[in-house]
Structure 1
Amino acid sequence: MIEFFTARSPIEQAVLATLFTWGMTAVGASFVFTTKKVNQKFMDGMLGFAGGVMVAASFWSLLAPAIAMAENGPYPSWFPAAVGFLAGGLFLWIADKIIPHLHPGMSLKHAEGFRPTRKRRSTLLVLAITLHNIPEGLAIGVAFGAVAAGLPSATIASAVALAIGIGLQNLPEGTAVSLPLRREGLSRRKSFFYGQFSGMVEPISAIIGVLAVVALQPILPFALSFAAGAMLFVVVEEVIPGSQENGNTDLATMCYLIGFTVMMILDVAFG
């Protein structure tokens, strides 16, 4: 697999990786064809797992390389990581306030963003997951861009491991969109289409991440940290609370630990 990626340009690598993560979103959305309702314990466990994957990826694949790269730069080694991390969280916070969206499981009165009640509930659900997929695609693009930029701590294997981890956690996201859409009265086919459509933003944001890093290499540690901050905003604001709100707290917490461990092993073993 690594040789398959090595022979391609950074943009091709990022696009191929995010096509995989998009495909995993589609796999999750395809559950709408086989069931009317997914077991809530399963969903909460998968959300916990997804949170663990994203937290581990934020550190090992993004923050740690950013700090390592900054050690020989003009700033204190902590500066790019701190600034980029906070900027990533701020970016998602602003986007949350502007883009109309509705988190799965919430009523329409809890919709967020600019004038959200003018949108259909189904549209708001898709926008919520689409918004939260942006930092995931960006993280993958920046990771492959870091390899192209020659960052010593960045490898094709670690970037591929990041894509695998994000792909695993995309599966419950696709399900979390398609099934509510089906309950809103959409056909199974339309529910699947809109569920997988939410993952389309990942290849786009990955290309942006690669181009930004390759064109402006000095911003690489900031870009890596930016992606980490944006991902952790999603985890704390949506993923972990969503896994805990139905009473399956112990299950969700244990799955979080498993997800963290899996992503840590992927990154350390392949990085």
Structure 2
Amino acid sequence: MSIDNYEELQKFIDLNEHYRTYLDEHNNTRPDGRKFHENRSIQILKKFLQHSYGSSMIRFGNTTVICSITGQLAKPSLKSLRSGFIQTVVLLPRTQAWSTYGRRQQIINENLTLSQHLLDIIYKSKLINLEDLCIEEGKWVWCLQIDFQCLNNDGNLFDSCLLALNVALHHTYFPTVKIDPDTQKPLVYTKELKHFQYNQQQEPLCCTIAVYEYEQEYKYLIDPTLEEENIAKCILHYVLLKNDQICLIHKTSGAPFSIDKFHQCYSFAREYILELRRKLNQ
């Protein structure tokens, strides 16, 4: 590994010390030039994939995520004859996941955890009604497959995935399905598309905050990079609905938090998510 300058050497040896040194020399500024409560540039590309029902690509700085929505015909569960299914899968870059065995297992666990969190948010926010996935009661339903492929992970995956999901859903079109009266088999008409109906009044979006301890005080870093996530005392995730109602608050183990600090971080999250909504509706 080549080390070009002293700053890169310091980051390689002790990332925490690098951040402390930088904050001593630059008041309220992070090493990438942003203020503590400033997010990276956000780029949104709609209808990114040709052969999916809905798709999007989102870039938060160097973090790049593709969301793809597809569907398969399935038989409904006997417990609910009118309800379809939803599956979510998050995949990190293979080059990152297969570096060493220990790191590989950790990333696999992170993938599973993030996939489950996203599925829980879809259910809890009632973003998608499972009965809207019914084609014919007791016979055929849609199994909705939502895949998140991370092309580059530089932190803040949670925010990126949820924004990508909302953008993709807004441009999702399903083929028309009719049941053959003779054979009772489904006939799929790929040229007759209809817009997928979901609950646009919910629109859950996430704000990730890295809590960093500096001079016995907590600094709250909005839209953290991967480096900032690695040195954080803890990570906070605030998921808010369209009316600013809290859908989820998740905190990793670490620094203890008072109610006042949770309220303070909520105000940061609300302002940040308001900006995400502006981007989403452009």
- TM-score of the superposed pair, with normalisation by structure 2: 0.28
> Larger relative CO (CA 8 A, sep 6+): 1 or 2?
1
Structure with higher Rg: it is 2
- TM-score of the superposed pair, with normalisation by structure 1: 0.29
Higher strand share: 2
